[in-house]
Amino acid sequence: MSPPPGPGGLHIRKPYVIFMGDIADPASAKTGFGLRDWCPGDAVGQIRTAGQAVDLGLPDMTIGEAAQSGARSVVIGIAPDGGALKESWTPALAEAAAAGLDVVSGLHTRLEIYPNILAAAQGSGARLVNVRHPELSFPVATGRRRTGKRLLTVGTDCALGKKYTALSIAAELRSRGVAATFRATGQTGIMIAGDGIPIDAMVADFIAGAAEALSPDSAPAHWDVIEGQGSLFHPSYAAVTLGLVHGSQPDAMVLCHDPRRGFVDGLPGFPLPPLDEAIRRYEEAARLTNPAARVVALSLNTGGMSDEAAAAAIAGASLETGLPAADPIRHGAAVLADAIFA
């Protein structure tokens, strides 16, 4: 049995060219880097409007060259402060739409509010895809158990590797011949997968229902590897996380953690919990809809740490919790995949 289809509605046409504009700060380019790292075969090149713009290491192209190379979409690969589209980018994006390329944005600003982009798309038939503003609707969750297996990445905090961990585990499972599908729940993950549901854009009553739709019934041995969002311990985003946990009904969870953080990033008044408490809280939440749910492993983000410091952090986390631990980017996801079947 083939992997089940996604929910549809946000399909992104590939291949694409990544628009980097004039942004020079690599921290604002995580979408571009994510696309480069996880689906390099889908990107024909990059478009930069200034010499100092972040370089993804892809061929520099004009809109015309991208269209001639077979690109079907231009994807905005940067997220500037405030999530707004810069007015200076609109001529290039309008040119892309006029050339028949879909324009794909994960920003808060809707593309349709820019008259030149809208007119160009209407003239060519190109689509304007607002990943953060999906034209999707879902029923409230039912809690019905679905066939197939599910793994959800969860975290002690935001922005510490839930997406990369899920992608790594899904790839490792497939390399072993295990049927596995990455299910995207955030803007960059959706652009990588080409489909998905932006969970943080759902009305609260329908978050769990959207998560159920994201991971439908599948073959008994098939694994949906679901990208986590937020954290139960984040005062801003815990509600999104809880709805995703309930709707995902995970059989297994991998807890993601940055060993260098003691507090919620940007909110020093909120200390992160001990790992064993985080495990207990996630299992307690997940067992509302799947009584067998459990955290099976830890994924540590050790980027920027020395090999010795990373090894010590991983060993310490494993000793503290009694669970296997690894950094899937540094060492691969074999340890995490093994834990699913242990």
Phi/psi class of residue 147: alpha, beta or left (left: φ > 0; alpha: ψ in -120 to 50)? beta
What is the value of pTM for the model shown? 0.89
Contact 72, 45 (CB under 8 A): no
How far apart are alpha carbons 109 and 235 in whole angstroms? 25
pLDDT one-digit tens code per residue, 233-290: 999 999 999 999 999 999 999 999 999 999 999 899 999 999 999 999 999 999 999 9
Quick one: CA dihedral 35, 25, 259, 82, positive or negative? negative
- For residue 254, give the nearest of 170, 181, 330 by alpha carbon: 170
pLDDT one-digit tens code per residue, 144-188: 999 999 999 999 999 899 999 999 999 999 999 999 999 999 988
* pLDDT of residue 218 exceeding 90: yes
* Interacting residues of 338 by C-beta distance below 8 A, sequence separation 6+: 324
User: Tokens in use for 98?
Assistant: 């006029």
Type of residue at 332: G
- Pick from 68-72, 84-88, 206-210: least confident: 84-88
How far apart are alpha carbons 114 and 161 in whole angstroms? 34
Examine residue 15 and say whether the peptide bond preceding it is cis (omega within 30 degrees of 0): yes
* pLDDT of residue 193 exceeding 80: yes
* pLDDT of residue 6 exceeding 70: no
Q: What is the dihedral of CA 168, 252, 324, 183, to 10 degrees?
A: 10
pLDDT at 33: 92
Share of the chain above pLDDT 90, in %: 81
Band (pLDDT 50/70/90 cuts) for residue 62 is very high
Report which DSSP code applies to 5. P
Average pLDDT in the chain: 93
Band (pLDDT 50/70/90 cuts) for residue 4 is very low
Sheet containing 102-105: order of strands: 43-48, 16-21, 73-76, 102-105, 128-130
Quick one: CA dihedral 23, 48, 201, 37, positive or negative? negative
Phi/psi class of residue 94: alpha, beta or left (left: φ > 0; alpha: ψ in -120 to 50)? alpha
Helical residues (DSSP H) of the chain, grouped into ranges: 30-38, 63-68, 90-98, 115-124, 162-175, 187-193, 207-214, 238-248, 275-286, 307-321, 328-331, 334-341
Band (pLDDT 50/70/90 cuts) for residue 2 is very low
pLDDT one-digit tens code per residue, 85-136: 889 999 999 999 999 999 999 888 899 999 999 999 999 999 999 988 877 7
pLDDT at 79: 81
pLDDT at 40: 84
pLDDT at 133: 81
User: Which residues sit opposite 181 in a β-bridge?
Assistant: 224
Residue 322 has a CB neighbour count (10 Å cut-off) of 8
- For residue 166, give the nearest of 247, 241, 226, 246 by alpha carbon: 226
* pLDDT of residue 8 exceeding 50: no
User: Tokens in use for 287?
Assistant: 């067992």
Instruction: Give the pLDDT mean for 54-69.
Output: 95
* pLDDT of residue 3 exceeding 60: no
Report which DSSP code applies to 233. T
